Amino acid sequence: MVASKRICRTSRRVPRTTVVPPVASPAQTLSADMLYRIFQFALLLVKRKLGEDQTRIDIDRIEPMNFSLVCRSWRSVVLSNPSLWSNMHIFHSTKNDLHPILPRIHSKWLQLSRNSLLTTSLDLHFYGSQSNKELKRIIDTTLAQYSRIKHADIFIRSLPKSKNYSISLPLSPTFVSLSLEVPDRHGRASLDFTSCFSSSKLRTLETFEGIRWILPSSPNQTLHFPNLSKLEFYTDVTGDIGDIYVILSACPNVENLVVQAYRCKNAFTSPNAAHLAPSSDPVLLSRLLKMKIVSHNRAVTLQVVRWVTCPSLRELRVDASENVIQVLLDSDDPDEHCMTRELLLAYKNFICRSQPPLIHLELDYSSRTVIADGHGLLLREILRPLRALKVLRLTEVVVDSELFEEMTLHDEDGSESICPSLSELKIMHYKSDCSSVSFRVNFTSMENMLKSRKISGNPQLLPLSLHFPVFFEGVPMFYTVTHSQT
């Protein structure tokens, strides 16, 4: 008899095989932005050493990775991250022809950026017919991407002489900052607001010489940029002085304003400004801290000053200096760049209306001052409310002895004096007549004011610059006091 064997099955389980994943390389475990920084750092370590008899290229290692490891992962990273291609900066300012491959690289760069928002900078100078063709391609392909531009800084010099070539950039809701300068006396460059006349994203807008603004034709399409903090523009951007009011009204929260005051050919003819009159209520710019007016035209400067109220203003500069005249004499009026009674009255009314906490006031004129009764009084009325003023700079602005008498400090807090907090003073007269200044200014009162400011406890006038034409023993000369801070 054959004994059968009993097969016993145990309940023991066969242990599973544990699969250990391969250790990821350091490059694979890093985020794309970190890898990008490492790659940038690696590029800085590529050194080209020049010797008398040889040239050697050294690549230093990055611990714990090396340059080649970064490069192996770099291609996949950059191709899968369009934002890495969103910055473009192109500069060309030589007479050498632009290489034909550059527009192709530029187009490929735009393609790799896909739909990401762009930061672009163009600084281009046209030279010669060949480079013109390539530069036009770069400009056209860049401006064609306007609907996804976030930041743009565009400076194009010496456009081709062909009047058929023009540049037009439509504003887009994606813009956060825009600086556009295309010097061209034919007005072939424009910024178009017709498709985007309102945007809450725009923070900075600077347009310079040669840029026309194309505003919406319908009065219902009102310009509105509530978050714009910095604005610089030329007043002749449309040719209508009424549009200046429209532009200022569109930016109620601007903090830094630069106005290039050029003559406007038309007055209140555009549909946007047809309802305006020179006496329109001033625009309230409640957050404006700095305002600079470069005065190429006195009438336009007057209108700008009358059209704004700025209760937070800390710095006011008006530049009608020699530098402005050298750029462009915008009038045949010989008094165009001198301080007049009308200007002083406008500044006085602006100060009274705004009651600003000014700490810096600069009125810089270049033509010989037109002397008239009341000039000195108006200047004192401008300065009297400015208790916090620290810097006062006046060039070719009429002053008199009463100003220095009222600026003299008689007590520690200077409660009865003009500008008790002043720490810098500049009053310059280069072109005024000796007899008129000597008649209006008693230099003893000036010296008494300076002495009172040197007393311990009073604000010191450093730096100090005074320059006046005077007669000394019948001979015309200049009275000059200078003292710089050391």
Please tell me which residue, 485 or 208, carries the higher pLDDT value: 208
CA distance 247 to 285: 12
| pLDDT top residue among 197 and 219 | 197
Token representation of residue 265: 């050919």
Convert 428-452 to b/e letters by CB count within 10 Å (16 or more is b): bbeebebeebbebbebebbeebbeb
Phi/psi zone of residue 268: left (φ > 0), alpha (ψ -120 to 50 degrees), beta?
A: left
- What SS3 state is found at 73? helix
Judged against a pLDDT cut of 70, whether residue 6 lies above it is answered with: no
Contacts 24+ apart (CB under 8 A), 8-15: none
Structure tokens at 36: 């990008």
List b or e across 399-419, with b for residues whose CB sees 16 or more CB atoms inside 10 angstroms.
bbbbbbbbbbbeeeebeebbb
Residue 473 is classified by DSSP as T
Q: Is the pLDDT of residue 256 over 60?
A: yes
135, 141, 143, 147 alpha-carbon torsion, rounded to 10°: -160
Greatest mean pLDDT range, 25-34, 138-147, 337-346, 413-422: 138-147
Q: Say which amino acid occupies 400.
A: D
Helix axis angle for 298-306 and 341-354, nearest 10°, is: 20
Q: Mean of the per-residue pLDDT values for the chain?
A: 81
pLDDT of residue 483: 74
Contact 177, 143 (CB under 8 A): no
Picking from 81, 76, 67, the residue whose alpha carbon sits closest to that of residue 39 is: 67
Q: Quickly tell me which residue has 């810096």 as its tokens.
A: 360
Confidence tier at 9 by pLDDT (50, 70, 90)? very low
Q: What is the pLDDT of residue 326?
A: 52
pLDDT classification of 8: cutoffs 50, 70, 90: very low
Name the band, by pLDDT with cuts 50, 70 and 90, for residue 213: very high
Which residues lie across from 240 on neighbouring strands? 266
Q: Which residue has the higher pLDDT, 15 or 464?
A: 464
Terminal Cα-to-Cα distance of the chain (whole angstroms): 124
Query: For 104-139, how does the pLDDT look when each residue is reduced to its tens digit (9 = 90+)?
Result: 889 988 998 999 999 999 998 877 655 578 888 899
Segment among 41-55, 184-198, 313-327, 356-370 with least mean pLDDT: 41-55
Strand residues in 35-184 grouped as ranges (E): 46-50, 55-59, 87-92, 118-125, 149-157, 167-170, 177-181
How many Cβ atoms sit within 10 Å of the Cβ of residue 393? Answer: 17
Bigger pLDDT: 70 or 95? Answer: 95
The answer on pLDDT for 2 being more than 50 is no
- At residue 437, the pLDDT reads 57
Is the model's pLDDT at 385 over the cut of 90? yes
Q: What percent of the chain has a predicted confidence (pLDDT) above 90?
A: 44
- Other C-beta atoms closer than 10 Å to the C-beta of 298 total 23
22-39 average pLDDT score:
59
> What is the rounded distance in angstroms from the CA atom of residue 270 to the CA atom of residue 243?
7
Place of tokens 């062909």: 162
pLDDT-derived band at 10 (thresholds 50, 70, 90) equals very low
**pLDDT above 90: residue 251:** yes
- Single out the residue of 428, 425, 439, 427 nearest to residue 470, CA to CA: 439
Residue 455 exposure: Cα atoms within 13 Å on the Cβ side? 15
- Rounded Cα gap, residues 212 and 196, in angstroms: 16
Q: Answer yes or no: is pLDDT of 324 > 90.
A: no
Look at residue 207 in the predicted model and tell me its pLDDT: 97
* Beta pairing class for 256-261 and 230-234: parallel
DSSP string, 25-59: PHHHHS-HHHHHHHHHHHHHTEEEEE-SS-EEEEE
Look at 256 and 54; give whichever has higher pLDDT.
256
Write the DSSP assignment of 246-305 as a string of letters.
Answer: HHHHT-TT-SEEEEEE---SBSS-STTSTT--TTPPPEE-TT--EEEEEES-HHHHHHHH
Q: Which helix (H) or strand (E) holds 113?
A: helix 101-113
- Rounded average pLDDT over 76-80: 75
Q: Can you say whether residue 396 is alpha, beta or left, with left for phi > 0 and alpha for psi between -120 and 50 degrees? A: left
- Please give the structure tokens belonging to residue 140: 């056209």
Name the strand (E) or helix (H) holding 471.
strand 464-472
- Residues of the chain with pLDDT > 70, as a percent, come to 72
Could you tell me which of 226, 245, 388, 390 has the C-alpha nearest to residue 312?
388
> Would you place residue 456 in the very low, low, confident or very high pLDDT band (cuts 50, 70, 90)?
low
More reliable by pLDDT, 270 or 264 = 264
Position 477 scores a pLDDT of 65
Nearest to 231 by CA among 261, 214, 201, 251: 251
Is the predicted pLDDT of residue 394 greater than 80, yes or no? Answer: yes
Lowest mean pLDDT among 124-128, 216-220, 405-409: 124-128
Angle at which helices 341-354 and 375-383 cross, to 10°: 20
Helix (H, G, I), strand (E, B) or coil at 355: coil
Whether pLDDT at 72 is above 80: no
**Strands 46-50 and 55-59, sheet pairing:** antiparallel
CA-based nearest residue to 91, from 47, 153, 44: 153
Domain ranges of the chain: 34-80
Model pLDDT, residue 135: 86
Q: Is the pLDDT of residue 247 over 70?
A: yes
CA 291, 184, 216 angle in degrees (round to 5)?
Answer: 65
